[in-house]
Amino acid sequence: MVSKWAPENGRSDYQLTCDDVHPRSQLHDIRVATNGNMVAFVLQHDCRAEVIEQDGRASVRTTPQADVSLMSANGGYPQRLTRWGDQSHAANWSPDGAWLATEHNDTLQVISANGGSERTVYTGALYHPPLDEGDAEFGGPRWSPDGATLLFATREGARTLLRLVGADGRWQRTLTEHEGHIVGWDWSPDGRQIVAVMRSDDGWVGEIQTIQVKTGERRQISQEAEYEYEKPMAMWALHGRCLVVRSNRSGWSKFWMVNSDGAFRSLTTGAWDDYSFRVSPDGQRMVFASREGQAGSGDDLWIVSLAEGARKRLTTHPGVNIPLAWARGNRIFYWHSSPTEPGDLWSVAAVGGAPRRLTWSAPLGLERKLRAPEEVSVPSEDGAVAQALVYAPIYSQPGERYPAIVWIRGGPTGECRFDYAPLYNWLANQGYIVITPKYRGSTGQGVAHMAAVSGDGIGKRDLYDVLAAARYARTLPQVDASRGIGIGGRSWGGYLTLMAITQEPTLFSCAVAGAAISDWRIQQANTDVRYYDRWLVGGWVYEQDERARDRSPVTYADRIVTPLLVYHGEADRNVPFEQIGPFVEKARQAGAAVEYITYRGEEHGNQVPRNQQDVLDRTATFFRQRLQPWNMRDNPSADQTQE
């Protein structure tokens, strides 16, 4: 049978709200004291955003409401340490656990952990590189082993500077500078050296260097190609005699030991990714997240002996598990999330045993609206096989059938994982089967899978996988395709949506594209991520003009027969706004039904709550009117009935 429209069946209680999809409150930047007794984190309790006009230009001003909070490592109610009322970062504990170094409004402050004194030790353009939760600690202020000095980064134009400042704020100096980005740094146990991970602004290649603290002398340890797969990172081990390096050199994200003469020794092997890691306080072992042994796109924690290479599995915890700290006392703290669990802090003993949950960040009633997806394999038309996640409504019953939507995540690097992704549940609970493919270009399936989208593969091999997902959806027994199949996505997902409806004009019955690339010549000339786009196109557009034209949806806009909803932020510099207007005009001149919405002042992702809500409302209405069984709300005719 065909399911009726969900809210009219009393299922509105299962609908996710805009605040569920775009949470205003969350905890991040979690730091555990070395002794394992206390946890510090930033608790964001609101993030206000408003459009402002200045000199004839609109922009969005955000004022995050967030403070550093402390909590016992045994759990309990957090206590707010700071009362600044806006964005801050819980950067790092001092070695003795008595102080916290925090970043706040371009000031580096040292605050007593008991809530007493605080002092500003540096003011300037602090740089906090955008890193995943498992790597974020490497990109914040780091205490020297003796607790006397702080190491941190600033930005001056296109340069990143690593700076040293006394913990009392009485002296400071620049250690080194790099034309580009320095994204991670770690002290050697004796405090004499720094290991740093760097990337130039105009390249796809990173490098790892050691720096002498006394002289600033630099030594290159390795060059890291395919930098964007899993960003390289390094940490000292074995009492400073070796480095643990995360590298993509094997074609997967793996760990290597690097000794004093620069020789690499493989620490982990296998055709899967090993990524976030922490070295034990004694420097002898390492805990890391690995996909070994967990089916699909989840991972678990493993421990490896750095001297012997023997390893053991520590957790069996379906979802994503990211080690955050290995504290004295052999307790490991980690971040866990899954499709039905927003991220929270957990701990487990290094010898094994049942893990313990320490925080509960999800709003009451949210988890009952969430349903885990099914992981499937989808054969593509060129012989490849793509993985995909299939989401069904939380209220669906055996035998019920629903319209299908192919929803494409952004990227292209990045991936859909067995992780918390409320947008997919929001869309499924509107009354759809939602399939999201891990198309080529995604990470998590090896460097070759990611690199397949670069150069000639752009808008081609990834598109094969998207079209294959649509054809696969029609074969699912829970799918009702009587009114066709929808497609949608934002950013790279929007780009592939436009490519799909121009290359296969009759395959989809409706489409939604947000912040979509439509013309590579305008895109590459105006974007603020040119090095990334150069890798995607396989060169600059003037070098690859034929490819740029062939893989630009605007070239084929006159083919569109699919009803289309397009939205874009007018201040977007990642996918520049200038390109979407000409695309819409060309499609409309050819007779396409295009609903076109722009958001003044918004950049690549909408931040103003009313705009976020507007996108959800328009998307829900657009798909409902074109995919759901006819109903009196959308088709008011006396002779129409619901089936």
What gap in Å lies between CA 227 and CA 184, rounded to an integer? 13
CB atoms within 10 A of CB 641: 10
Average pLDDT estimate for 515-531: 91
For residue 304, the model assigns a pLDDT of 96
What gap in Å lies between CA 67 and CA 21, rounded to an integer? 22
Element (H, E) at 10: none
For residue 639, the model assigns a pLDDT of 40
Nearest to 221 by CA among 194, 203, 202, 191: 194
Q: Check residues 24 and 208 and name the one with the higher pLDDT.
A: 208
Nearest to 4 by CA among 458, 430, 328: 430
pLDDT at residue 635 tops 60: no
pLDDT at residue 5 tops 80: no
pLDDT at residue 9 tops 60: no
For residue 314, the model assigns a pLDDT of 95
Q: What DSSP state is assigned to residue 556?
A: G
Highest mean pLDDT among 86-90, 339-343, 480-484, 585-589: 585-589
What gap in Å lies between CA 194 and CA 213, rounded to an integer? 7
pLDDT confidence band for 640 (50 / 70 / 90) = very low
pLDDT tens per residue across span 343-402: 999 999 999 999 999 998 888 889 899 999 999 999 988 888 889 999 999 999 999 999
What gap in Å lies between CA 151 and CA 232, rounded to an integer? 20
| CATH for 6-15+366-627, options being 3.30.930.10, 3.30.470.10, 3.40.50.1820, 3.30.70.2170 | 3.40.50.1820
What gap in Å lies between CA 68 and CA 104, rounded to an integer? 10
In contact, 600 and 60? CB cutoff 8 Å: no
Q: What is the 3-state secondary structure (H, E, C) of 497-512?
A: HHHHHHHCCCCCCEEE
Q: For residue 186, give both structure tokens.
A: 């770690």
Average pLDDT estimate for 277-296: 90
Residue 310: Cβ-neighbour burial (10 angstroms; 0-12, 13-18, 19+)? exposed
In contact, 511 and 584? CB cutoff 8 Å: no
Q: What is the CA radius of gyration of the chain?
A: 25
Average pLDDT estimate for 540-552: 95
For residue 13, the model assigns a pLDDT of 81
Task: State pTM to two decimals.
Answer: 0.93
C-alpha torsion angle, residues 142, 144, 149, 153 (rounded to 10): -30
Q: For 125-267, which CATH class?
A: mainly beta
pLDDT at residue 306 tops 90: yes
pLDDT at residue 136 tops 80: yes
pLDDT at residue 202 tops 90: no
Q: Check residues 412 and 85 and name the one with the higher pLDDT.
A: 412
What gap in Å lies between CA 275 and CA 290, rounded to an integer? 7
Q: Check residues 8 and 578 and name the one with the higher pLDDT.
A: 578
pLDDT tens per residue across span 595-613: 999 999 999 999 899 999 9
**DSSP per-residue codes, 582-598:** HHHHHHHHTT--EEEEE
